[in-house]
Chains A and B, each alone.
Chain A
């Protein structure tokens, strides 16, 4: 009991201090006004619409990235020559953050969902690829040898031994990639929102609150929503990992 109270002490204090400190200025957001705005935004569906739009883009981009990164990672992890020759490309583009190529992507694809999905895919691509490669390389060689010695043909070995053995690492890569994808979409929508007004996502909503309606409470509500979704995505993927690959804990 005492531990629980200790844990809640700092957050509770912060909320109280914040409420009091902000009551001086009429426009400053504070816990009470934020709550009111949150209720309003949920009730009129704005918040959920924004989240759904952003999440839709995230999943689309993430699926696209994984569809390329996983097979490529398996190939690169299995064929040393392929990895050696493609590695320079990976290492050159990896340090270039997704957000840095956003202006380029906007130049090419405009300010709509296509750009957003592309940025998300780029952001999620590298963690998935790199973790898949590492996972494939870390597969215990005797597992493949055992199947080989039982006369199992190569393609079947890949499907039935390599893939399940590398799966824990691939899923870890996906968890990291999804987290980065979520951050990337917010950043992309913020940056695009600054140019194009708005078209739906949470990041764009935040920017509209900043630039047009000057609704600071709305901004805070969006920030909290961003945090909550990030938490949920992470937890869901951790659960998935624990369920799908229970042996990787042991």
Chain B
């Protein structure tokens, strides 16, 4: 369980003209372990989304190598599922239509009979708690429901890695807390570690990162560099009791102190 699933080796990414490039990510090296829940936090402009895009294969690094299971990452693939900010649900498809999309049109569904496919989709709908909403359209759903559809669509392809870009950012505080619990349940925090999928989770909310993750990667900004990797040794399964614990508060505070000055400067200038 502790071998590296994904390896980033001195990854750099620059944008803009060759004469005056903007360095978004600077020589980031990181090992992501199989089955772990890894959160990435940092002030705005630290390249969090860029890193995720590169992991997803939607973008190529300017320098450095990225490997998955030892093989270099060469573009997107259904084994790395992505959940976007704002969910990117297809407005013309129902909840079921969205969830089964990757299975119908992508490689993840190859070899699957339509009966098997329907069965898998039904199982996922059950798992994320959307029974009864299968025939609704995204514009008829609340924010929390849309988030779960996006998650279900991702999971229907049974990816090895889940890449999530601030998935809870668009929700109000109460819904967020509830969905954090839901996310951990769906990920399998009640099940043995070997049954959990690897998750890379971007957020700017430190308390969220500490609550959800096994490890938190803290990046500094301009350019994005690795500042610290913090182990979160809070016991699982986690819930409301975790949020009230002193250890939780200490971890959140220590991470905040790592980025506070940068965040202050970014906000006030």
Contacts and interface: CB of A to CB of B under 8 A. Distances in A.
A and B are partners in one complex rather than unrelated chains: yes
Interface of A: 140, 142-143, 145-152, 156, 160-161, 164-165, 167, 245-248, 250
A146 B105 CA distance: 12
B139 A247 contact: yes
A147 to B, nearest CB: 7
B105 A156 contact: yes
A140 B107 contact: no
Given A164-B90, A247-B137, A151 B101 contact: no
Interface of B: 56-58, 76-78, 80-82, 84-86, 88, 90-92, 101-102, 105-108, 137-140, 153, 157
Contacts, number: 70
A250 B78 contact: no
A152 B105 contact: yes
- The residue in A145, A146, A147, A148 that gathers the most chain B C-beta atoms within 10 A of its C-beta is A146
A147 B157 CA distance: 12
Contacts of A156: 105
B155 to A, nearest CB: 12
A168 B233 CA distance: 50
Nearest to B53: A145
A147 B93 CA distance: 13
B88 A150 contact: no
A156 B140 CA distance: 27
Nearest to A159: B105
Given A247-B138, A247-B139, A250-B139, A150 B108 contact: yes
Given A149-B77, A151-B106, 5 more contacts: A142-B88, A145-B82, A149-B78, A150-B101, A247-B91
A147 B56 contact: no
Nearest 3 interchain pairs by C-beta = A250-B139, A142-B88, A150-B102
B80 to A, nearest CB: 7
A143 B81 contact: no
Contacts of A250: 91, 139-140
B84 A150 contact: no
Contacts of A151: 76-78, 102, 106-108
Contacts of B92: 164-165, 167, 245, 247
A15 to B, nearest CB: 44
B13 to A, nearest CB: 17
A152 B84 contact: no
Given A150-B108, A151-B107, A160-B105, A145 B137 contact: no
A146 B139 contact: no
Nearest to B83: A146
Contacts of A165: 90-92
29 contacts: A140-B86, A140-B88, A142-B85, A143-B88, A145-B84, A146-B82, A146-B88, A146-B153, A147-B106, A148-B58, A149-B58, A149-B80, A149-B82, A150-B76, A150-B108, A151-B77, A151-B102, A151-B108, A160-B101, A161-B90, A164-B90, A164-B92, A165-B90, A167-B92, A246-B137, A247-B92, A247-B137, A250-B91, A250-B140
